[in-house]
Amino acid sequence: MNAPSLQRRIRNGTLLMLALVVLLGLYTLPRVYALGGAIRATLYRNYISIEAAQNMHAALNTLQVAEHDGKAKDVLPGARHNFLQWSDVENHDFTEVGEPELAADILKRGNQLFADVAAAPPGTYHDREFAELNGRLDDLIAMNKAAMFRADSRSVRLGKHLAYEFAGGLALVLLVGAAVSWGLGWRLSKPLTELTERLRGISQRKSQVRLGPQPLAELEAVAREFNSMAERLEQYDKLNVERLVYEKSKTEAIIESLEDGVVLIDSEGIVAHINEIASLILGVDLQDALGSPFDDLSSNHPHYLRVRDALRTLQRAGTAGTNGHRTEIDLHVRGRDHSYVLKPVPLHHIIGKSLGTLLILQDVTYIRDQDRARTNLVATLSHELRTPLTSLALSAELLSREDVDTNAKSGELLQVILEECSRMRQLTDNLLNLARGEIPAIAVQQKRLDLARLAADVTRRFAIQAREKHVALEEHIGAVPEIIGDAVKLSWVISNLLGNALRYTPAGGTITVAARGTEQATRLEVTDSGPGIPADMKDYIFERFVQYGSDGFEKGSAGLGLSIVKEIVEAHGGRIFVESANSHGARFIVEIPAAMEI
């Protein structure tokens, strides 16, 4: 059997209350109307009788006054007419018991009085007859006034009776309405309370939360939807738990497969997860570490103590607002020295709420081995180059001192060889000292010099090489403000840029050297028409050991040239950057601040 709908119950209750109101109206309204009509009619007729008696009083008074004035004969016809007229009105308006007899007596006495006045000689007075007749008229007025007072009392009693009846009807309607409201409220509140309890059960992750049969059709529909939702939520929770377990297993597998050590520390400082590599590096037991505070693991292994101290130092540095977010430590693991970068990564769910820290021990041993190999290579190359460069410089100097006829071209070549040998010796000495760690950075002399003249001198040294390679070497050098710097190292910067441009510019190409200045800086540009530099290499073209070789062009020697160029330019307080479009050449731009006037 289908449950009745809430709409039907509200409709039936409303119709019941409406029917009661209509019945109450049908009962009371006719009675009120009839009562009002009857009282109105009675009062009106009583009022007519009183008015008729008062007009007859007036006619008698007029005649009595005229009799005393000796004019009774003249006034008698009019007074008789008025008296008889109002007597006739009274005879058609009887409302009270005894009123017809009193009216007949008044008419009889009036006719007798008018006849006596008409037959009496002048000077005769009928005051006693007038007084008796006026007394009878007063009795008529008193009778109708008493009737009016009785009608008023009756209307009051009937009005109270109707008011009580109407109040009783309203009370009945209110009781019915209250009963309907209470019944609907009870039928609604009980299922809603049950629904609240079931929802609370869902929020508390209770299983098999269902609603039973409901007394209303609408609530039955809600119960069906709720039960369907609860079933879907249970299925979703089951799938979600399985997915979480799967994701947890996958995450643990990924962490375990990493070659770096990973330690997950929650917001309370407790180790939530540690992979096997991390336990091996730290020298702690994996099972003992799980669930224990990272700062108080039951281990005195020196690796753990060093990592713990390094982590505390990083955390203090982060609290102090410094930029220290990682540090490097050396540990002896698996029979050899390893270099690890200790990198704590804060985990945040929402702003202001920390989920903990992911501690990563990244093995950079291979990178440090490569760095050491490159450093050794640079040191070896620098040391091995010193002897042939010295011999070459001595040979060129001896040739320049010999008293032999040499043409201008040979003399120019010997001068170029001597200058380049001098710069190469300085470069090898700097590289050797840098590889040994004896100097932290490139040192520069502080002298005022003209960068435009220096660029022109260096460019002329490459004129012969450019002609031999069939490359046009153009100069657009204007007046520039003086700078404070090292002429030897800046000439090496220009030589390196021109050497790279000659290496990558094909025959028939063009190399342009331009210098221009402003009040604040001097700008040097070296532009070639070679293959250009790919966009993905422009960001790190100035890093050490970065080499780029395009199709048909040979790579540089060791990938140190542009790195040293950048260090020299920055040592002068300037900057260097490159602009290049693929297959459309490259433009290297050097900007150095102008010398301040003292």
47 and 142, same domain (yes or no):
yes
User: Which residue in this structure is represented by tokens 């003209």?
Assistant: 450
Residue 438 has pLDDT above 60, yes or no: no
**425 and 393 in contact (C-beta within 8 Å)?**
yes
CATH number of the CATH domain containing 412:
1.10.287
Q: Give the whole-angstrom CA distance, residue 460 versus residue 467.
A: 11
Point out the least confidently predicted range of 217-226, 299-308, 363-372, 447-456.
217-226
Point out the least confidently predicted range of 192-201, 234-243, 404-413.
404-413
Distance of CA 76 to the CA centre of its chain: 108
Per-residue pLDDT tens over the stretch 131-179: 888 888 888 888 888 877 877 777 777 777 777 877 777 788 788 777 7
**468 and 596 in contact (C-beta within 8 Å)?**
no
Task: Name residue 51's amino acid.
Answer: E
Is residue 253 a part of any domain in this protein?
no
Is residue 525 a part of any domain in this protein?
yes
Beta pairing class for 472-477 and 510-517: parallel
CATH number of the CATH domain containing 86:
1.20.120
Is residue 544 a part of any domain in this protein?
yes
327 and 402, same domain (yes or no):
no
Q: Give the whole-angstrom CA distance, residue 333 versus residue 337.
A: 6
Point out the least confidently predicted range of 88-102, 177-191, 524-538.
177-191
Is residue 214 a part of any domain in this protein?
no
Model confidence at 525, in pLDDT bands (50, 70, 90)? very high
Residue 472: per-residue pLDDT:
93
Residue 527: per-residue pLDDT:
93
Is residue 236 a part of any domain in this protein?
no
Rounded percentage of the chain residues whose pLDDT exceeds 90? 7
**342 and 311 in contact (C-beta within 8 Å)?**
yes
Residue 439: per-residue pLDDT:
44
**266 and 353 in contact (C-beta within 8 Å)?**
no
Residue 515: per-residue pLDDT:
92
Q: 49: how many CB neighbours lie within 10 A of its CB?
A: 25
CA-only gyration radius of the chain, Å = 63
Residue 523: per-residue pLDDT:
92
Task: Name residue 453's amino acid.
Answer: R
Structural domain of residue 583, as residue ranges? 447-593
Instruction: Compute the average pLDDT of residues 475-487.
Output: 89
CA 246 to each of CA 239, 242, 243, 427, 584: distance values in angstroms, whole numbers, following the listed order: 10, 6, 5, 59, 53
DSSP for 532-587, written as a single string: ---TTTTTTTTSTT-----TTS---SSS-HHHHHHHHHHHTT-EEEEEE-TTS-EE
Helix axes 217-257, 127-203, angle to 10 degrees: 30
Q: Give the whole-angstrom CA distance, residue 71 versus residue 322.
A: 137
570: its two tokens: 């920055």
Q: 456: how many CB neighbours lie within 10 A of its CB?
A: 15
Residue 360: per-residue pLDDT:
84
Instruction: Compute the average pLDDT of residues 517-522.
Output: 86
Is residue 202 a part of any domain in this protein?
no
20 and 119, same domain (yes or no):
yes
388 and 323, same domain (yes or no):
no
**109 and 84 in contact (C-beta within 8 Å)?**
no
Residue 576: per-residue pLDDT:
92
Q: Give the whole-angstrom CA distance, residue 170 versus residue 173.
A: 5
User: In 3D, which of 319, 315, 343, 345 has the Cα closest to residue 329?
Assistant: 343
CA 81 to each of CA 50, 71, 118, 149, 340: distance values in angstroms, whole numbers, following the listed order: 18, 17, 14, 32, 143
Instruction: Compute the average pLDDT of residues 20-47.
Output: 69
Question: Which of 24-38, 407-421, 486-500 tops mean pLDDT?
Answer: 486-500
Model confidence at 588, in pLDDT bands (50, 70, 90)? very high
Per-residue pLDDT tens over the stretch 322-347: 444 677 777 877 777 778 888 888 87
The sign one gets for the Cα dihedral 349, 350, 355, 356 is positive
382 and 486, same domain (yes or no):
no
381 and 484, same domain (yes or no):
no
467 and 520, same domain (yes or no):
yes
Q: Give the whole-angstrom CA distance, residue 32 versus residue 42.
A: 15
Is residue 34 a part of any domain in this protein?
yes
Point out the least confidently predicted range of 75-79, 192-196, 572-576.
192-196
Contacts of 575 (CB under 8 A, 6+ apart): 569, 590, 591
337 and 409, same domain (yes or no):
no
Q: Quick check: helix, strand or coil at residue 267?
A: coil
Model confidence at 57, in pLDDT bands (50, 70, 90)? confident
Count structural domains, the chain.
4
Residue 277 has pLDDT above 60, yes or no: yes
487 and 429, same domain (yes or no):
no
Instruction: Compute the average pLDDT of residues 452-463.
Output: 89
Among 363, 389, 418, where does a domain finish? Answer: 363
Among 363, 388, 414, where does a domain finish? Answer: 363
569 and 584, same domain (yes or no):
yes
Is residue 190 a part of any domain in this protein?
no
Rounded to 5°, angle at Cα 324 from 322 and 325: 125
Among 363, 385, 402, where does a domain finish? Answer: 363
383 and 339, same domain (yes or no):
no
Q: Phi then psi for 19, rounded to 5 degrees?
A: -65, -40
Q: 353: how many CB neighbours lie within 10 A of its CB?
A: 8
Q: Phi then psi for 107, rounded to 5 degrees?
A: -65, -40
Instruction: Compute the average pLDDT of residues 110-132.
Output: 85
Residue 589 has pLDDT above 90, yes or no: yes
Q: Where are the beta strands (DSSP E) in 96-160?
A: none
User: In 3D, which of 364, 318, 310, 319 has the Cα closest to residue 341?
Assistant: 364
426 and 524, same domain (yes or no):
no
Rounded to 5°, angle at Cα 216 from 213 and 220: 45
User: Which residue in this structure is represented by tokens 């770096």?
Assistant: 260
**477 and 515 in contact (C-beta within 8 Å)?**
yes
Residue 311: per-residue pLDDT:
80
Point out the least confidently predicted range of 85-89, 202-206, 330-334.
202-206
The sign one gets for the Cα dihedral 31, 34, 36, 39 is negative
Residue 320: per-residue pLDDT:
44
CATH number of the CATH domain containing 324:
3.30.450.20
